[in-house]
Structure 1
Amino acid sequence: MSLPPLREVIAAHGLSASKALGQNFLFDEHLLDRIAAIPGDLTGRNVLEVGPGPGGLTRALLRAGAQVTAIERDARCLPVLADLSDAFPGQLRVIEGDALKIRGDDLFDQPYAVVANLPYNVGTALFTQWLSGQAWPPRWTSLTLMFQQEVAQRIVAQPGGSTFGRLAVLAQWRSSARLAMKVHRSAFTPPPKVMSAMVHVEPATMPEGVSARMLERVTEAAFGQRRKMLRQSLKALPGAVEALPALDIDPQRRAETLSIDEFVALARSLS
């Protein structure tokens, strides 16, 4: 179905991006179609979108054949999304609310993919929420998410560099994470001060005998004082420093030098 250009729709509804809600709108239909293609064929698949705003990415997901459930807290955008729902009968469900308080698993009876141009102010919190918890594999089949490029690089970082930290361990210890696409700041309205990037995450096999909460505690302690040696940073975690020699981990190393397997082994020994 032919739809009016997004810029015309936004002008007609008197919309503007809300800084308080971390909004930055995307208008480039070609770019949005490329983003919608990252998780693969979406025909008939359930997709959760967070913060659709005026529905640019939503349009692309609907064109790709997805069954979209969109969570939007900005009431100004609801009439635009209602028009979009009319244009794609039976494909779009819009829920007004705060995505931090709504569990995706409660919205779907079947597996679902998450695809979103996340509001900058809640992106990391939502990402952490989706990747946390002991239950694995998750109900979601993939996460395809827009972040500030700096955050995206931290998610896919490898050990040994300054960008490697808690986000990388969380994203990679039982998932695969890759940088799928860089997006120039000029693609957004209004243009943010920083560059952006799409990250694509898929669940992998969870290592046996590891408590997800313990791994979170280990990384919290280790990276909470990342400039200090492990013998100092892990002091607050009972038994952690004592466990290092048995795992062939030098207590004089710093957190960013440990591999994800070493973090997993330490968490397993303390679980």
Structure 2
Amino acid sequence: MAQIDNLPPLRDVIRQHGLNAKKTLGQNFLLDLNLTLKIAKTAGSLEGRTVVEVGPGPGGLTRAILAAGADKVIAIEKDQRCLPALQEIADAYPGKLDVIDADALTVDMTTLVSGPARIIANLPYNVATPLLINWLKTDPWPPWYESMTLMFQKEVAQRIVAEAGEKAYGRLGVLSQWRTDAFIAFDVPPSAFTPPPKVTSSIVHLVPKDAIVTADAEAVENLTAAAFGQRRKMLRQSLKSLEPEILAYLEDVGIEPTERAEQVPVPAFLALAQMLSRNG
């Protein structure tokens, strides 16, 4: 393993601070600094950039982001056991690391950055999807971040990039593809983590689109939740709870009432969300 800085190996850091990963916090620590550097570089050049990181744990990815040239890292960590280890990184990179002791789901991240930032994170599995949805629903758009480079369970990553007609296509794909261009950069095997999870993980890179179809984010989320919540049913049935006259709305936007949610492309969902908002 190549040395990327003068700090101790991560295994030593974890041992010194007693940082056993907690299942309740969705923690799985990455120890290979070559791999964390590869994740950091997937975000593109970090020279002079501000990076927001969620769930840094003992700081393996944090160190890689700083070693890759980031001007500032804002790391949000709710596990107070990790704070001393992160402070050691802050001491090694004076003025470049701010650690926020908080739950990322409750933090208004626009208050933490003064200009465009990038999000890079090995997200805790138990909050990965809610965090992504919150970032995708950011208003006004374009958002405060330039890009997101995030780790998910592989099946979640596949849902983010799946298109209509594919088995993994669902609510997350509609929201992601409405507002971003997303792709899976590479997979990460369980053996890369301590402790090893039971699933393969994937790094997903998402770049916000400058121009998007104007639609209410809550309306899109509510529509897709209803549609994919009963994905085996035809839309005329699964969407009845949203709008009793859904048949007319479906026909007006060119969606066959007998179609199921996985058959409907993103633009059609957006057109339907617009109509529901106007008439709601």
Q: TM-score, normalised by structure 1?
A: 0.97
- Change in 2 beyond 3 A, CA 1:76/1:187: same
- Equivalent residue runs for 1:115-130 within 5 Å: 115-130=120-135
Per the alignment, residue 166 of structure 1 pairs with 171
Q: Which moved more, 1:250-259 or 1:154-163?
A: 154-163
1:265 aligns with 2:271: yes
* Residue 135 of structure 1, CA deviation: 1.7
Q: 1: CA distance between counterparts of 2:9 and 2:78?
A: 23
Q: 2: CA distance between counterparts of 1:143 and 1:103?
A: 16
* Residue 91 of structure 1, CA deviation: 0.8
1:227 aligns with 2:224: no
Q: Which moved more, 1:242-251 or 1:176-185?
A: 242-251
1:76 aligns with 2:57: no
Q: State the secondary structure of the residue aligned to 2:126.
A: coil
Deviation by residue 1:40-68 (Cα, 9 ceiling, x = unmatched): 00011010000100000000001011110
1:12 aligns with 2:13: no
Q: 2: CA distance between counterparts of 1:248 and 1:96?
A: 49
- Change in 2 beyond 3 A, CA 1:133/1:32: closer
Aligned 8 A contact 2:58 2:86 in 1: yes
Q: State the secondary structure of the residue aligned to 1:113.
A: strand
1:135 aligns with 2:150: no
Q: Which moved more, 1:130-139 or 1:191-200?
A: 130-139
* Residue 206 of structure 1, CA deviation: 4.2
Q: 1: CA distance between counterparts of 2:54 and 2:22?
A: 15
Report how many residues are paired. 271
Per the alignment, residue 93 of structure 2 pairs with 88
Per the alignment, residue 245 of structure 1 pairs with 251
Q: State the secondary structure of the residue aligned to 1:128.
A: helix
> Which one-letter code corresponds to 2:268 in the other structure?
E
Per the alignment, residue 186 of structure 1 pairs with 191
1:113 aligns with 2:118: yes
Aligned 8 A contact 2:186 2:202 in 1: yes
- Equivalent residue runs for 1:6-85 within 5 Å: 6-66=10-70, 67-85=72-90
For structure 2, the 5+ residue unaligned runs are none
> Which one-letter code corresponds to 1:45 in the other structure?
R
For structure 1, the 5+ residue unaligned runs are none
> Which one-letter code corresponds to 2:140 in the other structure?
A
Deviation by residue 1:138-181 (Cα, 9 ceiling, x = unmatched): 10111111111111111111110221000000101121111111
* Residue 208 of structure 1, CA deviation: 4.2
> Which one-letter code corresponds to 1:87 in the other structure?
A
Per the alignment, residue 180 of structure 2 pairs with 175
